[in-house]
Every structure is written in C-alpha cells, then in structure tokens.
Amino acid sequence: MPNNPDSCGLTQNAPTRRSFLKWSGIAAGTSTLVASSTNLGMPGSGPAAAADGLADADATFWSACIVNCGSRCPLRLQVKDGVVARVLPDNTGDDTLMNRNIRGCVRGRNMRQRIYNPDRIKKPLKRVDGSKRSEGKFEEISWEEAIDLVAEKLQYTYDNYGPEAIFKAYGTGVWNAHLAYSGGWPRLFNLMGGQLGYYGNYSYFQVSQITKYFYGAADEQPSNSIEDSIANSKLLVLWGNNPQETRMSGGGVTYTTAMAKKAGVKIIVVDPRYSDSASVLADEWIALRPGTDAALVAGMIHVMLDEGLHDQDFLDKYCIGFDEDHMPDDAPKNASYRAYIEGKGSDGIEKTPEWAAEITGVPANQIRKFAREIAQAKPANITQGWGPQRHANGENQVLSIYLLACVTGNVGLPGGGTGGRDGYYWPVTFSMDDAENPVETAISVYTWADAVDRGPEMTAKRDGVRGKDKLDTGIKFLLLYGSNMASSQHGDINRTREVLDDESKCEFVLGMDNQMTASMKMCDLVLPDTTTSERWDMVPNEYTGDLAYEIMCEKAIDPLYESRPALEVTAAIAEKLGIGEEFSGDKKTTEDWARELQAANHEENDFIPDFDELREVGVYRYTDPNGPYVGLKDFREDPEANPLETPSGKIEIYSSQLAELAATWEFDEDLLGDRITALPEYVATWEGAEEALASAEYPLQCISHHYKQRVHSTYGNLSFNKEAHPQKVWINSLDASDRGIENGDQVQVFNDRGRTQSQAFVTSRIAPGVISVPQGAWVEFDDQGVDLGGAANVLTSWNPTPVGKGNAQHTALVQIEKAD
C-alpha cells in the first residue's frame, strides 16, 4: 500500500480539477498540505470543546477510536474528577468534502463503556496449575512475578527452539496507533533474536497476495477514489463493498459515497445481501450467490464480446492474455480469456449469461442489462470491497473484478478505476521502529494455528512457507496482543481451542489486552493493558479517501486498576532480559516515545506538526497535492515509460507465473477447487454454491458481514451497542418459511464444525439459499458446547485459499433450525 505522497494521487485535467475544488470546499490554487483554518489554534485540552459538552468539565482531551474498521475517528474526552464523563465527536471541520468533520460512529462514541467495563482486566492473571486453557481459570499475581515469568518463558523458548518458535498473532484491537499497534512487542522479539514472521492480513488477504500477478502491485491496486468519482464518474459500482456499515463514520467513506449519490452518480451494488449501502445508495441491486462473482463477470464479458461493447484497443495496448493474438510465448493454445469465454478452452463450456445465471442465481436478462450499463457508462468506477475475496476461490474473484475494469477500458482514467478497493491517500506519518527481524521465515497470517498444530510438516509448496522450504519447529510461544484470534476471529473456533489446549504443541500463550475476551481466557498469562484514554499516542487515518489526517491521543486519565501501557511492560521485560538500553535507551516513558516519534514525523515532512502543535490542533488534515487518486494514471498515459511490475510490464490477464505455481505446488485433492488457474476463471469450490444446491444436509451458504454493533470483535461486550444492534442471523423469508422460522425466533445454525445460536432476522434482503451471521460476536459456550453468543467462526474452517493460503471464511455450508 502506498505510503509516499509521490506514489499516490495523480493530477487531473485543470478545468475539472478547479470545478471540483470549488465544489468540495477547497479554494483552487490553495496548498492542501496545511491544516484548515478551523484546525489552527484549537486547544488540545480545557476550553476546546466545553461549549458543546459539560460546562463544568475539568478538562477536555483529544483521543481516538483506533480499532480496525478502516477509518480512524477523533474523540474528545471530557474529564471530571479524574473520570471520563462524556465523549464528544470532532468539531474542527465543516460540511465540505475535504474538510469534513470526522465524526465517530456509535461504536467509538460509546468509549466510556469500554473504559469502565466490568470485563476490564485489572491485574496480571496466571492460569491455575492443572487447569485446561479452555477452562479459563486464573489467579492474580504481581507485575514483578508476571514480568519474571514472561522473561523466563521467552529465554527458554529461544534457547530450546530458536526464534522461529516465537510468534505474535495478528490482531486489530490496537490497529495502526503509532505506538500502541506495536506496543514494543515486535521490537522486543527482534532484539532478542527474531521471530517467525507472517504475510498478509485477515481483512484483504487474497487481494494482497494475488494482485502482483495481474497489476504487478506488491499489495493491492486501489481503484480511483470516491472523491474522483464524485467529480468524474457516470457510474459507481460497489462490488461486495458496503461502506455504510463497515466504515460508517466521518472518518470512513460513508460521507463520500453519500456525496457521490447527491452529485447524481448512478450507483449499483453487487452483494448477496441488501446491505445498508444498497438500501441507502443503490439505484440497482445485483443479488448473487456467494463465491460466484467470477462466473457473473464471465457472463457479462460474453455479452460485451457478443455485442462489441468491450474496449479492444485498451486490451491490445495495455494487456496480455485476453485473446490469442496477445499471449505470452509459453502459453498453450486456446489459453486466453476470450477462448475461455467462447468455450474453446480446456473445459469446453461457453460462458453465456444463461450459464452464469445457473451458477450465480442472477437472471440472464439482468446479467445482460448489467453488462451493457457498465460497458456504456463512460467512465465507470468499479470498486470491489473485501467480501468477494474471502472465499475458497477468493484470488480468482479478485482478478475477475479487476478484469472487468480492463475489458471496459476504465483503468487509469479520471472517473474510471482499476476494479480494486476505492482509492485513498495513504498517511505520510510513521509508527515506532520495531527493529529489523533477523528471521526471514514467514507463514501466511491465516496458518498460525496450523503452525501450532503441525509446524514441522508445513512446506513452501503445500502451505506457503516463505524464506525456507519447510518449518523446523512449530509455534511454542504465542503472543496475543490486542488480538482475539484464539477464540473469536480465526476459523473453526472449536478446533482452534482444542489445539491450544494441547500444551505439548504451544507451550506458552501470553495475552495482553484491556478486556477479558474469550481469547484472553485461553492464555497462560494475561497482562492488563491500558485503553487509549490512559496513555499517549498519535493515530493516522487509513482507508478514508483523499483526505489524510493525524490525531493526537492525550493521556486523559490515570491507568485504571493495575493496567500498564504495553510499551512500559515490554521495556521492563527487555530490562529483565538484559537488553533494556538497546530497547529504550534511558528508560523512556510512553510520552517520551510519542514526542520522539512525532519529532521524526515532523522532520521527515515539515508540514506535519510537532508534538505540541498536534496537541493544539487535535486533528491535522492534509491532502495529496496532486489531487484525487486515479489508479494507474501514469501507466495509462505512457505504458512504455511507466511499466507495471509484472514480467511483461503490462496487465497480465493470463499469468505465466500463476501457471508455473499451478504446475509445481501441491494441493489437497480432496478439496474441490483447491487449485490455481492462470486466468481469472470461475472455480467451483468445497462448500460453494454448487455443493449447496446439491446438499440435503447443509444446503445454505453462510457468509458473515461486518456489523454495526462492533468492529470485528472489538466493542462486542458493550451493553449499549448490543441493545442498539443485537446479534441476528439474516435468513431469506422463503428459507425461513420452509423451516417454520419466524422473525425474532431463537435459531441455531450448525454444521459438522459447531453450533451457534442467536435471533433470526427473516427478510427478503438476502438472496435465497444464503444466510449471514454478523462476524465478531463473542462466544458463550453452554454445557453442551453450543455457542449462545452467535459467533460465525464456530461454523467456518481452517481450509486456506490456493494461492495466498488465506482465510476463506465466507465459504461455509450450514443448516438452520429453531432452537428448543
């Protein structure tokens, strides 16, 4: 992902740009690399917000909601008598597009319930000797004992197994805060000798691993920004993209997509579920079966070829692999995408709209209409969210949507796009230095549980191990820091808990959090972390479009109970291990770390305020001087001077690299669809649409949408949030009627992996044959092993995707019935 202003936005033609700036509230010709006048002079505490909050508050402090929804929103914490008494939103902007108020949503605004929650971890907790991890039995110990124990277990693991046995699990509870995201843990491990690394993330794993084979980008290739679409697009397609729920704050793209609709841009939503984005924004809803997006794209491109609606000039000049005249030398005959569509490829099937309709559930006439709309809207921005890629064929799903942008010739044009996620300007500020990891070995972020269970069996060609041919050891020391992976966010919760209960595999599980989550209950030692309100930090935005910003997080109150900031804890462990000076120098406080880091940010980019200036403004906004982001604009203008990082320098619709992987990697023959294709073909998979239609036992496809109650699992224990948005299983009215289920009934969703219970939401807002269990709910197992919390990952599997070895957590077949 870009983190350099020179690699992000690209200039549009001047007249359009001037009118857009005037419309969006930025004066033409004014430098955008300065804070708005509404920011400058804003006190960081005290009188800053008293007028719209508690008049008798002792002070008002800047803070932020830092969990991983893709946004970051400032909060103003009003403190009275040492207690956070009220949480206020940002008040430093206005209602113009590029200086908008960055208002927190209901999740972040309920921060007081997180700070003062009964689930707060108050003291260090050690698992009771002789108890199983899944029993969650603990006794309180002192901080001195806890630090001694961590140091002892770390040193033992390094001495007996080496650094590849040390692993920090992925987690998003402290996501992207400049200091808290690391908390010093990677730095500690790296200075001790290193750790087993991971690549990818649970959010957009398949996107991040497959894009290099198509566009050459190392991580993802964003489409044009929504701000660009407001000014230039005739059509905006939200393909599996649901900003009104996933990024529903002022920091997210909720505001910009709403502005696109207000500006008259036609919006089409493709999703198995009639999401809030479809309800609020869409002129049309395309409801397809989960995991069938590549089939829908193939049927649409058949229409375009049949009616001459495709952009052959673009395909000839910028791409290889679309037709037989533009193929790499090593490709076999009839291996082009056009041959695949026309039935001349290896499967011999013509990909007509009727063929696509049978697979996707979208009527053939609607497929034809949709194809014509996209092909004839000049320009159109097709932006895919991260739902389509979380399937067993997720990599092909990603590439097929990229391909649709290419076939319609929209890549690199203002108002067009690449088919990736809506574009953004990545912040220029940096996080703390974690030191260099001397260990080159890395695994897929989704295969950590496999590395616990069968580490020495994992290889490069079968399991995606990188840096060496195979692992020599399994994970023996597991850190869960701000992470709920052990009993919530990872697939197949029951299997994951069972593996972690075996102490001969992972010998020590260390947790650090501020809430006693189900994953913390699986640990051998739990350390009480502070909340953002109890420590210093700075927070950048992330996927928020063309507006970038940085938020000051002040220490508003003293740490509650015996909680400590992670940076102070890791520094103490480093001191115990004899590397204290190397870790933090002269025993820096968290505020010292924050001041030092912000000074470096200011030195690197002098328009970024220093620490005290950031306290004054609270939120510092800045934008790319090149204007709204247009993906691959330089490549479109001159592909010879600006080649892509693919072997050919062009967009590779047929990838010889993928063909090589398909021929040399090892796959599970028992898993339908566990294979790699050189083209963005539709691949039927295990527990996919075809198996659902043929199954009597588990005939429903289960997906799990992001939910307004929480961000992943964060905030999932807050009573106000649960009251406003209780956990509900979405089920189509036809499927509910067949099972005697009525709206509001308690139902159980189950398969061979587990059983979970919650309330039914009977609706026509989801495709027949599909249910959706909102992801991130906290598990509550009863004596029979039934989860009463409604957690989707009781139902999902560990089976990874074929290329990236990522999380296919939208691929699961289930049955549903009324609860007793």
Q: What is the DSSP letter of 11?
A: -
Tell me how crowded residue 728 is: count the other CB atoms within 10 A of its CB.
Answer: 21
pLDDT tens per residue, range 210-255: 999 999 999 999 999 999 999 999 999 999 999 999 988 878 789 9
Tell me how crowded residue 666 is: count the other CB atoms within 10 A of its CB.
Answer: 11
pLDDT at 346: 95
* Torsions phi, psi for 85 (to 5 deg): -100, -25
pLDDT at 275: 97
Kindly tell me if the per-residue pLDDT of 36 is higher than 80. no
pLDDT at 29: 28
Residue with tokens 């002129």, as numbered in its chain: 283
- Domain 689-818 top-level CATH class: mainly beta
Say which residue, 252 or 765, is predicted with more confidence.
765
Q: Specify the domain boundaries for CATH 3.30.200 within the chain.
A: 1-15+31-116+534-560+603-628
Give the percent of the chain with pLDDT over 70: 94
**1-15+31-116+534-560+603-628 CATH pick, 3.30.200, 1.10.3470, 2.40.128, 3.30.160:** 3.30.200
Kindly tell me if the per-residue pLDDT of 420 is higher than 90. yes
Q: How confident is the model at residue 634 (pLDDT cuts 50, 70, 90)?
A: very high
What token pair was written down for 106? 């209901």
Give the percent of the chain with pLDDT over 90: 90
* Contact between 121 and 528 (Cβ < 8 Å): yes
Mean pLDDT confidence for 266-290: 98
Mean pLDDT confidence for 463-479: 98
Run of H or E including 510: strand 508-513
Kindly tell me if the per-residue pLDDT of 575 is higher than 50. yes
Regarding beta strands 73-80 and 83-89, do their DSSP bridges make them parallel or antiparallel, or are they unpaired? antiparallel
Q: Specify the domain boundaries for CATH 3.40.228.10 within the chain.
A: 207-420+632-664
428 contact partners, CB below 8 Å, separation of at least 6: 3, 4, 5, 548, 601, 604, 605, 608, 622
- Domain 207-420+632-664 top-level CATH class: alpha beta
Q: How confident is the model at residue 51 (pLDDT cuts 50, 70, 90)?
A: low
Mean pLDDT is lowest, of 11-20, 164-173, 229-238, 548-557, for 11-20
Regarding beta strands 477-481 and 235-239, do their DSSP bridges make them parallel or antiparallel, or are they unpaired? unpaired
410 contact partners, CB below 8 Å, separation of at least 6: 379, 380, 381, 382, 416, 417, 418
Regarding beta strands 651-652 and 619-623, do their DSSP bridges make them parallel or antiparallel, or are they unpaired? unpaired
* Torsions phi, psi for 449 (to 5 deg): -65, -35
Which CATH code is given to the segment(s) 125-202+439-529+564-588? 3.40.50.740
pLDDT tens per residue, range 68-103: 898 899 999 999 999 999 999 999 999 899 999 999
Kindly tell me if the per-residue pLDDT of 17 is higher than 90. no
What do you get for the CA distance between the two ends of the chain, in Å? 49
pLDDT tens per residue, range 701-737: 999 999 999 999 999 999 999 999 999 999 999 999 9
Q: Specify the domain boundaries for CATH 2.40.40.20 within the chain.
A: 689-818
Question: What is the model's pTM?
Answer: 0.94
Buried b (16+ CB within 10 A) or exposed e, 490-507: bbbbbbbbebbeeeebbb
